[in-house]
Amino acid sequence: MVDLYSQHLKIKTEIEEAINNCILNSSFIGGEQVNLLNENLASFLGINNVMSCANGTDALQLAIMALNLPKDAEIIVPNFTFVAPAEVVALLGYKPIFADVSETTYNISPESILENISSKTKAIVVVHLFGQSADMKGILEIAEKHHLWVIEDVAQSLGAQFIDIDNKPRYAGTLGHIGTTSFFPTKNLGAMGDGGAVFCNDDAIASKIKILANHGSIVKYNYQEIGINSRLDNLQAAILNVKFKYFSSYIEQRKAVAQRYNSILASANNKNIVLPQHNNSSPHTYNQYTIQIPFRDQIKNHLFEHNIPSMIYYPSTLSSHHAYNKYKTSATPNAEYLSKHVLSLPMHPELDEEQIAFICKNLLLGLEIFSK
Ligand SMILES: *Cc1c(COP(=O)(O)O)cnc(C)c1O
């Protein structure tokens, strides 16, 4: 699905030098590389505060903790996504309310958010799925009207933009109140281990998050809040600072790979394949290249038999799981439909034309076989 080793070989010397420097300085927790990464991201995103932390799930947890919501608060999350948003909401004792997603972008839909708002709703966690921004214009209008906090999870879409009505492009994760991301190795900006970050423009929220991530303390052994321990290693930050130099070019390479997939699959002229949708207000950065296809499970096996990996993100709705089926859910037909039809193909900057052609050839062959 990804080829992290090929990517590494191209920057091996720089990475080794960065790691060696950390060892020479023996600064492992905190340190200048962590500060530099926070600054790099802040200036890239055009946001006032970036606080790196241990992983993307912690980033979401810190964001929600910082809001000090009442105990009976309901928080709207998408029903078609990775578990983290629902997990942290429930873990903190709040109620996740599962909303449906758009059938074209797979992102949480403003209409479904609206349907799920009650007097207890306090926040929305927007996940920008697969590399594409959700409809932030629609979502922010609703949030403003109903006085809701908006947390944006850009773990899969760091570097994706949302272009609003004024034609002003802004980075996903910087439009709501708090943005969160992950540096899990397979994300668009990936470390060699775990990592994450929270970002926001509001200085008061930022300092609260810093305190919460540091055992609730700003002055050593003085605890203002009940916090957690969530920090990014200096080593991981050093690795990320090297990769950050190539971050924009990695995204361009992902777009080129997607275009290649698109043109081969579109030329097959098979109406049964639904390609990733392009949307002028939210250009795709392709953390995943996800199609819809009939005979999905058979085709996945067929690809596997030809040594081609593929993945199902996500094979079921969150609300269908034992851990979450006790929470209230409106009907989420798109989330259900997508969980049965989506298939993600290999996607990474190093994927070459020959590999893409081979994947497409076998995919189309599989479709032909099972359509008979
Ligand atoms: C990867 C991911 C996370 C969690 O990140 P970790 O660093 O693995 O904790 C959260 N949300 C989404 C949408 C993700 O894809």
Helix spans in the chain (H): 4-25, 32-45, 56-65, 84-91, 110-115, 136-146, 203-213, 234-244, 247-267, 296-305, 333-341, 353-371
pLDDT of 182 above 70: yes
Do 4-244 and 248-371 share a fold?
A: no
Listed residue (56, 251, 239) closest to 154, CA to CA: 56
Compute, in angstroms, the gap from residue 49 CA to the centroid of ligand 1. 20
Query: Can you state the percent helix, strand and coil of the chain, rounding each to 5?
Result: 40, 15, 40
CATH architecture group of domain 4-244: 3-Layer(aba) Sandwich (3.40)
- Rounded distance from Cα 87 to ligand 1 centre (Å): 11
**Lowest-pLDDT range, 33-47, 89-103, 119-133, 272-286?**
272-286
Q: How confident is the model at residue 165 (pLDDT cuts 50, 70, 90)?
A: low
Q: What is the pLDDT of residues 301-321, one digit of tens each?
A: 999 999 999 999 999 999 999
Does the CB atom of residue 153 touch ligand 1 within 6 A?
A: yes
Categorize the per-residue pLDDT at 30 as very low, low, confident or very high, splitting at 50, 70 and 90: confident
Contacts with 179 (C-beta within 8 Å, 6 or more apart), sequence order: 45, 47, 151, 152, 153, 154, 172, 173, 198, 199, 200
Ligand 1 center from residue 73 Cα (angstroms): 23
To 10 degrees, what angle do helices 32-45 and 234-244 make? 40
So where are the chain's domains? 4-244, 248-371
Which pair of tokens denotes residue 95? Answer: 């109620």
Residue bearing the CA closest to ligand 1, atom 12 = 155
Ligand 1 atom closest to Cα of residue 156: 15
Judge if the beta carbon of residue 108 lies within 6 A of ligand 1: no
Using the 8-state DSSP alphabet, how is residue 189 labeled? Answer: S
> What pLDDT, in 10s, does the model give residues 221-255?
999 999 999 999 999 999 999 999 999 999 999 99
Q: How confident is the model at residue 328 (pLDDT cuts 50, 70, 90)?
A: confident
Please give the mean pLDDT across all residues of the chain: 96
When pLDDT is cut at 50, 70 and 90, the band that residue 107 belongs to is: very high
What pLDDT is stored for residue 270 in this prediction?
A: 83
153, 192, 231: which to mutate for ligand 1, most atoms within 8 A of CB? 153
- Amino acid 273 reads I
248-371: CATH topology: Aspartate Aminotransferase, domain 1 (3.90.1150)
What is the per-residue pLDDT across 73-88, written as a single tens digit (0 to 9) for each? 999 999 999 999 999 9
Does ligand 1 come within 6 angstroms of the Cβ of 344?
no
Predicted TM-score of the model (pTM): 0.97
Residue 285: the pLDDT is: 96
pLDDT per position as a tens digit, 250-298? 999 999 999 999 999 999 888 889 999 977 899 999 999 999 999 999 9
Name the residue at shortest CA distance from atom 14 of ligand 1: 155
Q: Residues 185-207: what's their mean pLDDT?
A: 97
